Amino acid sequence: MISYLKGVLADIQKPGSHKIIVTLDVNQVGYDMQVPARHLSLLPPLGEVVQLFSHLYFREDQAVLFGFGQRQERDLFRLLISVSGIGPQMALALIDTLGEAELTQAVVSGNTRLLSRTPGVGNKTAERLVLELKTKLQDWQTQSGVGLVPDAGPVPTLYEEVEATLSALGYSQSEILKALQAVGRSSTLQKTADPESWVREAIAWLSQ
């Protein structure tokens, strides 16, 4: 229904229980969105423009809008909540605890012990995740590039996600290109397909 929202970051709230609520001012309308706690460090200062991919979750008493820095993260969230017994808060906890690449790889490889590190996720829930999502995540992993090790530099889908995130943070195309060329020389980054790692390194380089 709402693919993404792009607007001014108006407020950040921490109501407890590891919840992070951000308010985006989009054309003078404020949208409250719950985001993964791990995304907090990637948010720009208040008053700056940010783009968040969204998922509108309905339950009996209210509708909750969830926001994600990358489309891949949002799509992974949707796959997680499709599993019986996995609600949005547990899905966020899984993403926060393991991250996209490690979480995807854990499900594909059937590593229930790693999945069980997430608070609230027991062995039975971990086994259900593997049973219901292993094949789906194998296909999604191949399409998105999450958890795959590229031969050199980011794979195209990864590059596009990093570029979109940096652009949403206000950087120009020339700045983004120079930053990605610079940090792409890192042997550590060349071995990862985690968009957040690329974004963090690019922002650090741009802040020099």
Instruction: Mark whether 62 and 76 lie in a shared domain.
Output: no
Instruction: Mark whether 63 and 8 lie in a shared domain.
Output: yes
| Per-residue pLDDT, 153 | 44
Task: Say yes or no to pLDDT of 154 above 70.
Answer: no
Instruction: Mark whether 64 and 75 lie in a shared domain.
Output: no
In the listed set 68, 83, 100, which residue is the last one of a domain according to the structure? 68
Instruction: Note whether residue 9 is domain-resident.
Output: yes
- Any idea what the CATH number is for the domain that residue 64 is in? 2.40.50.140
Instruction: Note whether residue 131 is domain-resident.
Output: yes
Average pLDDT taken over every residue of the chain: 83
Instruction: Mark whether 193 and 129 lie in a shared domain.
Output: no
Instruction: Mark whether 57 and 96 lie in a shared domain.
Output: no
Instruction: Note whether residue 135 is domain-resident.
Output: yes
CA distance 93 to 99: 10
Task: Say yes or no to pLDDT of 144 above 90.
Answer: no
In the listed set 68, 84, 115, which residue is the last one of a domain according to the structure? 68
Q: Which domain holds residue 196?
A: 156-207
Domain total in the chain: 3
- Any idea what the CATH number is for the domain that residue 98 is in? 1.10.150.20
Task: Say yes or no to pLDDT of 20 above 60.
Answer: yes
**How would you classify residue 147: left for phi > 0, otherwise alpha for psi between -120 and 50, otherwise beta?**
left
Stretch 138-163: mean pLDDT, rounded? 59
In the block, residue with structure tokens 């596009």: 160
Task: Say yes or no to pLDDT of 132 above 70.
Answer: yes
Instruction: Note whether residue 111 is domain-resident.
Output: yes
Instruction: Mark whether 22 and 43 lie in a shared domain.
Output: yes
| Per-residue pLDDT, 152 | 38
Instruction: Note whether residue 151 is domain-resident.
Output: no
Task: Say yes or no to pLDDT of 82 above 50.
Answer: yes
- pLDDT tens digits, one per residue of 163-176: 778 877 888 877 87
| Per-residue pLDDT, 26 | 95
Length of the chain in terms of residues written: 208
Instruction: Mark whether 120 and 185 lie in a shared domain.
Output: no
Percent of the chain residues topping a pLDDT of 90: 34
pLDDT bracket for residue 159 (50, 70, 90): low
pLDDT bracket for residue 189 (50, 70, 90): low
CA distance 66 to 32: 8
Instruction: Note whether residue 150 is domain-resident.
Output: no
Stretch 40-58: mean pLDDT, rounded? 91
Supply the pTM of this predicted model: 0.66
Instruction: Mark whether 105 and 137 lie in a shared domain.
Output: yes
Q: In terms of pLDDT, which residue wins out, 152 or 65?
A: 65
Task: Write out the DSSP string of the chain.
Answer: ---EEEEEEEEEEEEETTEEEEEEEETTEEEEEEE-GGGGGGSPPTTSEEEEEEEEEE-SS-EEEEEESSHHHHHHHHHHHTSTT--HHHHHHHHHHHHHHHHHHHHHHT-HHHHTTSTT--HHHHHHHHHHHHHHHHHHHHHH-TT---SSS--HHHHHHHHHHHHHTT--HHHHHHHHHHHTT-HHHHT---HHHHHHHHHHHHT-
Instruction: Note whether residue 40 is domain-resident.
Output: yes
In the listed set 100, 117, 144, which residue is the last one of a domain according to the structure? 144
Contacts of 185 (CB under 8 A, 6+ apart): none
Instruction: Note whether residue 57 is domain-resident.
Output: yes
Q: In terms of pLDDT, which residue wins out, 162 or 54?
A: 54
